[in-house]
Structure 1
Amino acid sequence: MNADTAPTTTAEPRDADGRPPVHAATAADAEAITRMRSEHVLSTPFTEDWLRRCTDELAPRLTPGGDARAFVIDAPDGTMAACALGLIHPVLPAPAYPRGRAARVQIVATQPEFRRRGYARAVVSALLDHLADVEEVTLFELHTSPEAAPLYRELGFSGSPALMRMTRHRQLDGAVPGAQPDSTWVPPQQYADALPRAAAYVCLYVTDEDDRPLQLHSVYSPSHPWHMIGGPMDLGERPWDAVVRECREETGMAAAGPPRLLATVYGQPRAGRPYSTLQLIFDGGRLTAEQIRGLTLNPREHDAVHVLPLAEWEALMPARDFVRLLAVEEARRTGLAAYVDTWGSA
């Protein structure tokens, strides 16, 4: 699903109240919705044969007896400016969705010349309202991009862009407008499934006695050739316990506490990695030349250890890795913990 990312100057359709004129789609809109999906959602557009095939599949499902519901905004020239399509399906009932009706928001698309005008929000809001109030759907799911995820969080969804979920109950007759609904108990697994996913890592920042950073050369990661000591946390492991384990496994050295956190580093989900990454970087202190010579590397992970002045590391690693290294060094020097939230995004 696309995000509204580029403002334009095309004439903007609005209703009498100044809102985008959203209306429910019918079977006659199936071809336009299919083309919106092909052009603005899929990474590889459909061939004409596939456009016809999907249009023929969608049209009967957009009738009252079908399982598809869509809301659209028309452009001034009669084409489709934006659309949102949801597919209704049954699920086993649970306390949070007693009717056992769920919907997946399958398509949200806006023509480029109508983006940044609230059209995506308008069609999605209309779709969710209809599904909840008319179709009695209480469980909603969707997949989106990291860029579009904030919109869906504002609408009540939670979770990572790879799977966002929401439970929503229609207002009962006689309820006071604007009153908050009674809280609904959510099963623990359902609640856990709705939380953002993140892979947790720990690192140990070590220097020599002249404050020159120590890095290990990777044998398996050509895109990130130089590493701090550290790695992923095991399930159920405490962060400092993971530091001690990783330090022993990678260098044969015993990490000395007490733990002192220097930086927190966050990375967005990206291609090949559906989860966010969260790194906790601790201060490993200063090692003597004798201690550095005594490090014993694990040959399956690293084949060299180097100590260089901070500036010389810039030419040996990706720019985002060096930005992280700079932030960690500054945190140790100033005593102020660093926060980096752009690592791994490129």
Structure 2
Amino acid sequence: MNADTALTPATDPQGTAGRPPVRAATTTDAEAIIRMRSAHVLSKPLDEDWIRRCTQELAPRLTDQGDARAFVIDAPDGTMAACALGLIHPVLPAPAYPRGLAARVHVVATHPDHRRLGYARAVVSALLDHLADVEQVTLFELHASVEAQPLYRELGFTGSPALMRMTRLEQSAAANTELGSPGRLPAEQYAETVLKATAFACLYFTDENDRPLQLHSVYSPAHPWQLVGGTMDHGERPWETAVRECREETGLPVSGPPRLLATVYGLPGAEWPYSTIGMIFDGGRLTAAQIRSITLDPQEHDEVRVLPLEQWEGLMPTRDFARLSAVEEARRTGQAAYFGTWDWGNA
């Protein structure tokens, strides 16, 4: 991105004798990088036409004036053993990125014949160091596979695999001095590095025979039958969310006091890029008259159903039924449940 700075020369970042050195990629490496991406990153390999098109797109960007930077390791036979490609882009300046520059680690790939040799760490470390020290990028982002997530966490990235982030601040020492607490980031900057999650709160209702009550969703095929509840609004506490959602979704008033039945946690996935944390409270037992009085919001639900627990199993995804079963057991035993596997993208 900086026209007046050249890419760093080839170096051996680990200083290991006999190990092929990491070097900065040039325009002539564009095709090999694209083929590494096609073969070892993408879920479906590119055909030759797309290989050519992507190579023509990348090559001019791998120059001092371009926005792409890459580092590679060459195999003894002259092919590419590993590569890491980053794309620099402008963002609005902020204390965490005062120059208004960010970089996305777009491709990290290692040929299967050269894995478990530290090559991925070597090329990624070289790329991050160059972007930070030469290009003066301070905000880094990437999408990680579950397998690669531990490596990126060791390098300083935080967040979910769907979006991991890291900031490297030139002025961090001065900022720490101002805080009077060496080694700590200012609160605003630290907040950008921690886990991001959505939160929800629900109520578990049954009829007078302890049969679970659920609502049929009109908008979520992935979760067709749902407890009464929803996502927390800003400024709300979980019980307040449960009461508000119950009023909006059913018209039923809830007086409390709150009785927590289960805490739910889910990892991010293909369906949602953030972790999910939720609390499920006991809504009590409803009379037949109360159930008949339920008024649904047609934009959210179109049916109320009460069934014995075992009959719900065939109507719900596996993870949803497992959660419902845990909540039912918590109500029955009086011992609050922890359901920590309500992950996004799992059946």
Query: Please, which runs of 5 or more residues in structure 1 have no aligned partner?
Result: 1-13, 173-179
| One-letter code aligned to 2:340 | V
Map of 1:256 onto structure 2: 255
**Alignment partner of 1:152 is 2:134:** no
Query: Does residue 200 of the first structure (1) align with residue 199 of the second (2)?
Result: yes
The equivalent of 2:178 in structure 1 is none
Amino acid at match of 2:207: D
Answer whether contact 1:263 1:337 (CA < 8 A) is retained.
yes
Checking the alignment, whether the CA contact within 8 Å between 1:133 and 1:171 is kept in structure 2 is no
* CA distance 1:244–1:116, change in 2 (3 Å): farther
2:215 and 2:283 map into 1 onto residues whose CA distance is 14
Distance 1:284 1:293 in 2: 16
What residue in structure 2 maps to residue 5 of structure 1?
none
1:292 matched residue in structure 2: 291
Q: Which residue number in structure 2 is paired with residue 308 of structure 1?
A: 307
The answer on 1:142 being equivalent to 2:108 is no
1:113-128 alignment, distance < 5 Å: 113-115=113-115, 118-128=118-128
Counterpart residue number, 1:30: 30
Any residues of structure 2 matched to 1:1-346 within 5 Å, and which?
Answer: 16=16, 21-63=21-63, 66-89=66-89, 94-115=94-115, 118-145=118-145, 148-169=148-169, 183=184, 185=186, 188=188, 194-332=193-331, 333-346=333-346
Give me the whole-angstrom Cα distance separating, in 2, the residues matched to 1:91 and 1:33.
26
CA-based RMSD: 3.4
**TM-superposition CA deviations, 1:15-69 (whole Å, max 9, x none):** 8458775333333322111111223334554343442343344334434565432
Q: Which moved more, 1:95-104 or 1:123-132?
A: 95-104
For 1:259 and 1:301, how far apart are their aligned partners in 2?
Answer: 25
CA contact (8 A) 1:38 1:46 kept: yes
Inter-partner Cα distance in structure 1 for 2:253 and 2:319: 29
Identity across the alignment (%) = 71
Question: 1:296 aligns to what SS in structure 2?
Answer: coil
| Residues 146 and 268, structure 1, Cα contact 8 Å, conserved in 2 | no
C-alpha separation between the residues in 1 aligned to 2:80 and 2:287? Answer: 68
Q: How many residue pairs align between the two structures?
A: 324
Contact kept? 1:234, 1:242, Cα under 8 Å:
yes
TM-score (norm 1): 0.78
String of CA shifts for 1:148-204, please: whole Å, max 9, x gaps: 4443232112344444332224699xxxxxxx9765547x4x655555443322211
TM-score (norm 2): 0.78
Contact kept, 8 Å, 1:267 with 1:345, in 2: the verdict is no
Structure 2 gap ranges (5+): 1-13, 173-180
Change (3 A) 1:339 1:117: farther
For the residue of structure 2 that corresponds to 1:256, the secondary structure is coil
Whole-Å separation in 2 of the counterparts to 1:328 and 1:301: 23
Conserved? CA contact 2:320–2:342, under 8 Å: no
Distance, in Å, in 2 between the alignment partners of 1:220 and 1:54 is 38
- Tell me, in whole angstroms, the C-alpha distance in 1 between the residues paired with 2:134 and 2:221: 54
